[in-house]
Amino acid sequence: MEKKKRYVNAPVVKKDAKALVTGKPVYTDDLAPKNCLIVKVLRSPHANAWIESIDQKAALRVPGLRCILTWEDVPNKRFTMAGQTYPEASPYDRLILDRQVRFVGDAVAIVAGENEAAVDRALALLKVNYRVLDAVLDFRTAKDNPILVHPEENWHALCPVGADNKRNLCACGESGDGDVEAVLRSCDYTIERTYHTLANQQTMMETFRTFTYLDTYGRLNVVSSTQVPFHARRILAHALDIPKSKIRVIKPRIGGGFGAKQTVVSEVYPAIVTMKTGLAAKMIYSRYESQIASSPRHEMEITVRAGADADGRLRALDVYTLSNTGAFGEHGPTTVGLSGHKSIPLYRTEAHRFRYDVVYTNRMSSGAYRGYGATQGIFAVESIINELAEQMGMDPVAFREKNMVREGDIMPAYYNEKSNSCALDRCLARAKEMMNWEEKYPARDMGNGKVRGVGVALAMQGSAISKVDVGSVSIKVNDDGFYTLMIGASDMGTGCDTILAQMAADCLDCDIDEIVVHGTDTDISPYDSGSYASSTTYLTGMAVVQACEKLRENIIAKAAQYLDCKKETLEFDGKKVYQPEGDKEITLLDIGNRIMCNNEDDLTASATHSSPVSPPPFMVGMAEVEVDKETGQAELIDYVAVVDCGTVVNPNLARVQTEGGLAQGIGMALYEDVTYSAAGQMYQNSLMQYKIPSRLDVGRIRVDFESSYEPTGPFGAKSIGEIVINTPSPAIAQAVYHASHVRVRELPITAEKIFFGMQEQK
**Calculated CA dihedral for residues 737, 742, 743, 747, nearest 10 degrees:** -100
**Phi, psi torsion values for 624, nearest 5 degrees:** -120, 120
Residue 29: how many CA atoms within 13 Å on its side-chain side?
Answer: 10
What pLDDT shows up at residue 1?
Answer: 42
DSSP string, 458-524: EEE--SS-TTT--EEEEEEEPGGG-EEEEE-S--SSS-HHHHHHHHHHHHHTS-GGGEEEE--BTTT
Separation of alpha carbons 145 and 122, rounded Å? 38
Separation of alpha carbons 109 and 104, rounded Å? 14
Separation of alpha carbons 229 and 232, rounded Å? 5
Residue 123: how many CA atoms within 13 Å on its side-chain side?
Answer: 20
Q: Helix H segments across 294-350?
A: 332-341
The Cα-based distances of 589 to 180, 521, 576, 582 in angstroms read 66, 28, 8, 21
Asked if residue 612 has a cis previous peptide bond (ω within 30° of 0), the answer is no
Strand partners, 169: 164, 359
Nearest alpha carbon to residue 543 among 559, 555, 557, 525: 525
Buried b / exposed e over 619-651, threshold 16 CB at 10 Å, is bbbbbbbbbbbeebebebebbbbbbbbbbbbbe
The Cα-based distances of 75 to 123, 154, 161, 172, 314 in angstroms read 22, 13, 26, 30, 55
Read off the DSSP letter of residue 91.
-
Separation of alpha carbons 445 and 720, rounded Å? 36
Interhelix angle 496-508/541-563, rounded to 10 degrees, is 30
Q: How far is CA 230 from the centre of its chain?
A: 16
What pLDDT shows up at residue 762?
Answer: 81
Q: Which residues contact 23 (CB under 8 A, 6 or more apart)?
A: none
Mean pLDDT per 10-residue segment, the chain (762 residues): 76 91 94 97 98 98 98 97 96 98 98 98 98 98 98 96 98 98 98 98 97 97 97 98 97 95 98 98 98 98 98 98 98 98 98 98 98 98 98 98 97 96 98 98 97 98 96 96 94 90 97 94 94 92 97 97 96 96 95 93 95 97 98 97 97 96 98 96 96 93 97 96 97 98 98 96 84
Separation of alpha carbons 56 and 53, rounded Å? 10
Contacts of the segment 98-101: beta carbons below 8 A, 24+ positions apart:
98/71, 99/50, 99/51, 99/71, 100/48, 100/49, 100/50, 100/51, 100/133, 100/152, 101/44, 101/46, 101/48, 101/49, 101/51, 101/130
Q: Helix H segments across 405-455?
A: 424-435, 437-440
Q: Which residues contact 611 (CB under 8 A, 6 or more apart)?
A: 463, 464, 466, 467, 469, 538, 539, 542, 712
Q: Helix H segments across 246-349?
A: 268-277, 287-292, 332-341
Q: Determine which helix (DSSP H) or strand (DSSP E) holds 588, and give its type and residue range.
A: helix 588-594
Angle at 191 between CA 187 and CA 197, to 5 degrees: 145
111: left (phi over 0), alpha (psi -120 to 50) or beta: beta
What pLDDT shows up at residue 3?
Answer: 56
> Helix, strand or coil for residue 306?
strand
Separation of alpha carbons 40 and 19, rounded Å? 30
**N residues, the chain:** 762
Separation of alpha carbons 726 and 97, rounded Å? 36
Asked if residue 33 has a cis previous peptide bond (ω within 30° of 0), the answer is no
Q: Which residues contact 593 (CB under 8 A, 6 or more apart)?
A: 479, 480, 481
- Per-residue pLDDT tens over the stretch 712-758: 999 999 999 999 999 999 999 999 999 999 999 999 999 999 999 99
> Helix, strand or coil for residue 122?
helix
Q: Are 461 and 339 in contact (CB under 8 A)?
A: no
Q: Which residues contact 185 (CB under 8 A, 6 or more apart)?
A: none
What pLDDT shows up at residue 5?
Answer: 78
The Cα-based distances of 334 to 88, 386, 485, 693 in angstroms read 10, 27, 32, 28
Separation of alpha carbons 258 and 389, rounded Å? 33
> Helix, strand or coil for residue 677?
coil
The order of strands in the sheet holding 100-101 is: 100-101, 49-55, 127-132
What pLDDT shows up at residue 493?
Answer: 83
